[in-house]
């Protein structure tokens, strides 16, 4: 089967996300995460982990056909203490206005 792309256990979240031709790995303690913001469209996602202390940690990924499964998994399996929200990219005019 291979290694999982996303793994959540009692204390940590681990992501091994493909970005272009490389593999980006992120491992965080769940108690340090305040929120997970999933940005962008299926072809180009950015996962932003907002932490209680310190700046956010971002992981970009090109998930292709696995996108829906991974996003659904994260929405269902993240602990209740971690808010998970989707953020669609703004339109060009929204970007200019600062929306």
Contact of 37 with 88, CB cutoff 8 Å: no
CA distance 90 to 4: 31
Would the pLDDT of 98 be above 60? no
Sequence-distant (6+) residues with CB within 8 A of 3 are 16
pLDDT for 19-77, tens place per residue?
655 667 889 999 999 999 999 888 788 999 999 999 999 988 888 888 999 999 999 99
Q: What's the predicted TM-score (pTM) here?
A: 0.83
Q: Which domains does the chain have, with CATH numbers?
A: 6-89 (2.30.29)
**Six token digits for residue 49:** 């982990």
């Amino acid at each position: 089967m291979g290694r999982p792309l996303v793994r959540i256990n009692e204390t940590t979240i681990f992501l091994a996300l493909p970005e272009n031709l490389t593999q980006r790995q992120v491992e965080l303690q769940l108690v340090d995460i305040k929120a997970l913001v999933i940005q962008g469209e299926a072809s180009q996602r950015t996962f932003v982990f907002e932490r209680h202390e310190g700046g956010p940690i971002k992981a970009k990924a090109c998930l292709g056909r696995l996108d829906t499964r991974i996003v659904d998994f994260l929405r269902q399996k993240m602990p209740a203490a971690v808010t998970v929200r989707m953020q669609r990219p703004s339109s060009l005019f929204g970007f200019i206005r600062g929306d």
